[in-house]
Amino acid sequence: MTTLLQQLFNAVALGGVYALVALGLTLVYGVMRVPNFAHGGLYMLGAYLTYASLTGLGIGYVPSLLLAAIGVALLAALMERVIFYPLRNAPHVSPMIAAIGVLFFLEAAVQLIWGPDFKQIPAPINGIVEIGGVIVTWQRLIIIAASVVVVLALNYFLKRTLTGATIEAMSQNREGARLVGINTNRVGMLTFAISGLLAAAAAALIAPTLLVSPSMGEVMNLKVFAIIILGGMGSVPGAIVGAFLLSFAETFGGAFISLDFADVIGFAMLVVVLAIRPQGLFKRGT
Amino acid sequence: MKTRLLFPALVLALAGSAYADKVVNIGYSGPLSGGAASYGKDVQSGIEMGINDINKAGGVTVGGEKVTFKLVSLDDRYLPNETATNVKRLTSQGIDVIFVPHAGGILTVQPMTTRDPAFLLVAYSSEPKILEAKNPLTFMLPPRYDNYLQPFVSTQIKAFGKKLGMVGTTSAYGKQWADAVTEEWKKEGGTVGSNNGVDYGTTVDYSAAVTKALSEKPDVLFIGGPSQPTALVVKAAREQGFKGGFIVMDQAKFEQMDQIVPISYLNGSVGVLPTKEFAGTQLFVAQYQRLYKKIPTSEAALNYMGINVIAKAMELAGTTTDPAKIKGSLDAAARALPQSKTIFKMKGVSALGHADADFIIASVKDGKYTKLRLDTVFK
């Protein structure tokens, strides 16, 4: 029983991080129709900026997280302006290739600046908490709490504010949004900025429990693409549900069947869902 | 940082070539980008430092000609097929000595050594299969890992108990290690839990695997892959309350792990003694730290040794281009070199091409390394 609860905590913490990264990706796809392969690169950059703020500027963990989130958000907005905006009328494959190019560029640039060595971000609160025989590190509790807060804030922003509504509107119907006077350029940039913000925040949250390296974005890329395909490309609730489905499948599949199959189970689930519902679990734009 | 390091090397190589009669290129195919880049750069730094030292001393004399060296590195991202492509590119440039630092790549290109153009393969991997191939043009640097099994297992059974949990990496090399350690553990009368190996390259979070392994209440955990993720496995296990010991696969190095977790987490581990703890390595460690701003592991040290033995062997063989003759002189070269050039005490090179250098295993107790005795040594 304790083992089950322990695994439950592991799965929820991992799912929270997956959700944050996947949300940004699904928003960008919903609004821009661009599968942003550079998203993992933004996530990786978020971790490095947090590391640099912590060690270089000597500021605390929370200011570093915010600084990294803002930095990556600005960079993502710039990326939309100089790369994806000029390609908006190009064949669909062009922005995809551009995104892959950005991913490689970010990886190479980070390796040049910080080197290929693994970096480590110290946890803001060290130590463990014991809840009914289950041992949880403080960092995992922070991850769970912070991801809930961020998801709620994002939901409030999308559903209750005018700017958020423009993003939703554009995701549902691009032409319609333009007809009612929504500035689609501004919304595109904003969406990219939000996706960068979420990716960087997720990276800063999970970084203390793992190692920061230039290639850390590649693995995350693979997982979040599986998540948004599973949940429905462009769907916000789909990204959240997909994230937890994948983390639960990986954790419990690994625990009850075999860890050798942990990754296989995650992707087998993807195949099954797509066979039954080719559009994913949720429709886009909801 | 990369350019800063490369630039003096370039200047040196160019300056060297202005005075010397001949520059011999040495090939290297290893991971320089991707997840294993850090490992690949460690290996590269050892070869590079060796070459720079030789060139600074004026090079070596081969058949009356002054010879200096230059390193030609290609990235293979740890993929054996890329290693094969790189090796073809290097040999087509007339390179006769090639370093490869991973078992997958080594076993793939081994059959190519004797084809035309032939080359000498310098293998940095402790996989015994490399020697089993009986390839005439392979020079293997590290001690074989089967040396570690018996002392690791008997030490940990005595110290902690008879139940072993498995959380190793799932690379080809890691799986073979896991099988070998399982067999040895059973041979000594212990029981082995279910295999919870995870891919240290793609796993985001190790707690699930560790939780599962710990639910079987093991006394000792088998762990290992690259040093840094291995340290994270240790961290997860200690944070979940594991009090037992660790058997650490030789790929993971204590001196890199203790930069990620407090050394107290490593108490009760057995593994390979850090290079800096060996007698007679202080000068090399100090020089390396000045140049590369990090602690050298055996990746740097053994490859530094490798290039020095090769240079000496070329001198003795009187040729820089005949791999078979160079291979034939390796044993004499290894015996002729002082320890300042080989870092570890060298007893020679076996007929199969295996460097017979000293190696020591150690356990961590109260944050200190205790050397363990070896009864039998496979060469």
Give the largest CA-CA distance in chain B.
67
Interchain CB distance below 8 Å, A116 and B41: yes
Is the CB of residue A254 less than 8 Å away from at least one CB of chain B? Answer: yes
Q: Is the Cβ pair A3, B170 closer than 8 Å?
A: no
Residue A54 in any domain: the answer is: yes
> Could you report the per-residue pLDDT of B60-116, keeping only the tens digit for each?
999 889 999 999 999 998 889 999 999 999 999 999 999 999 998 999 999 999 988
What residue numbers bound the domain in which A218 lies? 2-276
Query: What tens digit of pLDDT does each residue of A87-99 get?
Result: 988 888 999 999 9
pLDDT for B3: 46
**In chain B, which residues fall in CATH 3.40.50.2300?**
2-144+279-357, 146-249
More confident of the two residues A253 and A29? A29
Say if A282 falls within a structural domain.
Answer: no
Per-residue pLDDT at A284: 57
Has residue A248 been placed in a domain? yes
Q: Which residues of chain B have pLDDT under 50?
A: 1-3, 5, 11-18, 20
Suggest the residue from B5, B212, B299 to mutate for an interface test with chain A (most A CBs closer than 10 A): B212
> Residue A184: pLDDT band by 50, 70, 90 thresholds?
confident
Name the residue among B211, B241, B294 with its Cβ closest to that of A10. B211
Determine, yes or no, domain membership for A181.
yes
Confidence of residue A2 (pLDDT cuts 50, 70, 90): confident
Residues of A whose CB is below 8 A from B194: 258
Residues of B in contact with A41 (CB under 8 A): none
Mutate one of A17, A103, A117 to test the B interface: name it (highest B CB count within 10 A): A117
Contact between B33 and A107 using a beta-carbon 8 Å cutoff = yes
Residue B7, pLDDT score: 52
Mutate: best of A18, A118, A246, partner B, most B CBs <10 A? A118
List the beta bridge partners of residue B69: B24
Residue B205 sits at the chain A interface (C-beta within 8 Å): yes
Asked if A258 and B204 come within 8 Å (Cβ–Cβ), the reply is: no
For A231-260, how does the pLDDT look when each residue is reduced to its tens digit (9 = 90+)? 998 899 999 999 999 999 888 887 777 766
3-state secondary structure chain B: CHHHHHHHHHHHHHHHHHHCCEEEEEEEEECCCCCCHHHHHHHHHHHHHHHHHHHHCCCEEECCEEEEEEEEEEECCCCHHHHHHHHHHHHHCCCCEEEECCHHHHHHHHHHCCCCCCCEEEECCCCCHHHHCCCCCEEECCCCCHHHHHHHHHHHHHHCCCEEEEEEECCHHHHHHHHHHHHHHHHCCCEEEEECCECCCCCCCCHHHHHHHHCCCCCEEEEECCHHHHHHHHHHHHHCCCCCEEEECCCCCHHHHCCCCCHHHHCCEEEECCHHHCCCCHHHHHHHHHHHCCCCCHHHHHHHHHHHHHHHHHHHHCCCCCHHHHHHHHHHHHHHCCHHHHCCCEEEECCCCEEEECCCEEEEECCEEEEECCCCCCC
A55 touching chain B per CB within 8 A = no
| B2-144+279-357 classified as CATH 3.40.50.2300 | yes
Pairing outcome for strands B220-224 and B245-248: parallel
pLDDT at B1: 43
Output the six-digit token pair for B104: 């997958």
**Number of compact structural domains in chain A:** 1
Chain B stretch 105-134, residues whose beta carbon is closer than 8 A to a beta carbon of chain A: none
Has residue A283 been placed in a domain? no
Task: Note the pLDDT of residue A131.
Answer: 79
The closest of B341, B251, B333, B254 to B303, measured between CA atoms, is B341
Does the predicted interface ipTM exceed a cut of 0.85? no
Closest approach of A10 to chain B, Cα-based (Å): 6
Test mutation, A2, A4, A5, A10, chain B, max B CBs within 10 A: A10
Please give the average per-residue pLDDT across A109-124, as a whole number. 88
Checking if the pLDDT of A36 tops 50, the result is yes
pLDDT of residue A262: 72
**Residue A39 banded pLDDT, cuts 50, 70, 90:** very high
Closest in A120, A210, A215 to B34, CB measured: A215
Q: Does residue A78 carry a pLDDT above 70?
A: yes
pLDDT at A286: 45
pLDDT given at position B203 = 76
User: Average pLDDT in the A119-130 region?
Assistant: 84
Domain harbouring A168, CATH code: 1.10.3470
Q: Which fold has domain B146-249?
A: Rossmann fold (3.40.50)
Instruction: Please give the pLDDT value at position B201.
Output: 74
Mean pLDDT over the full length of chain B: 89
Q: Is residue A286 part of a domain?
A: no
B208, A13: Cβ pair inside 8 Å? no
Which of A108, A140, A213 has its CB closest to that of B35? A213
- Looking at the partner chain, which of B38, B205, B241 has a beta carbon nearest the beta carbon of A135? B241
User: Are A13 and B240 inside 8 Å of each other by CB?
Assistant: no
Residue of B nearest to A18 (CA): B204
pLDDT the model gives residue B354: 94
Contact: B37, A10; criterion CB under 8 Å? no
